[in-house]
Amino acid sequence: MTTINDNSITQGNLPLRVFLVEDSLEIRDLMVENMAMIDGLSVAGMAESEDEALTQLQAEPFDILIVDIQLKKGNGINLLRNIAEDQKFTNALKIICSNNATEVFRRVGRQYGVNHFYDKTSEFPQLFALLQQIASQQDHRQQA
């Protein structure tokens, strides 16, 4: 796992905006429920396909992008590839949360700017602990 890079997150006003790309309604609801319990985070948008995500990401500002690899249409790796060169997304923290937790996907994710990779079958607690830590650090920066 990668360490937190403070420069990855936009130095803006709270709350931090999370954009979630996940095709499973149950997983999406679970993630939104858990994020709602973290002070300083808000869900800026959601998508369940690659094309839908690309369209919304161009229109909705966000600080943290959480992407699944397998989507209803397209996939998260192509999405990350499509936004990798766009300066608009340079400062966003990119996280993959997927059942496809192989080293190949981790390596490809890093190639496209992914900061963290979590296996959604077993690492939800670590993902939400990271989000809590980031929101807390951002809150401290705002107060300084």
R_g over Cα of the chain: 14
User: What are the tokens at 15?
Assistant: 């709350």
- Section 29-54 average pLDDT: 95
Q: Is 30 left (phi over 0), alpha (psi -120 to 50) or beta?
A: alpha
Query: What pLDDT, on a 0 to 100 scale, did the predictor assign at position 140?
Result: 52
Query: Are the C-beta atoms of 21 and 71 separated by less than 8 Å?
Result: yes
Per-residue pLDDT of 61-120, as tens digits, reads 999 999 999 999 999 999 999 999 888 898 899 999 999 888 999 999 999 999 999 999
- Of 11-15, 37-41, 51-55, 73-77, the poorest mean pLDDT is in 11-15
- 46 strand-pairing partners: 20
Under 8 Å between Cβ of 120 and 98 = yes
> Other CB atoms closer than 10 Å to residue 141's CB: what's the count?
12
pTM comes to: 0.87
Give me the helices (H) in the chain, please. Answer: 25-36, 50-59, 76-84, 103-111, 124-143
Q: Beta partners for 19?
A: 45, 65
Nearest in space to 43 (alpha carbons), one of 26, 60, 68: 60
| pLDDT over threshold 70, residue 3 | no
Range 24-39 average pLDDT? 95
pLDDT at 14: 66
Does residue 125 surpass a pLDDT of 90?
yes
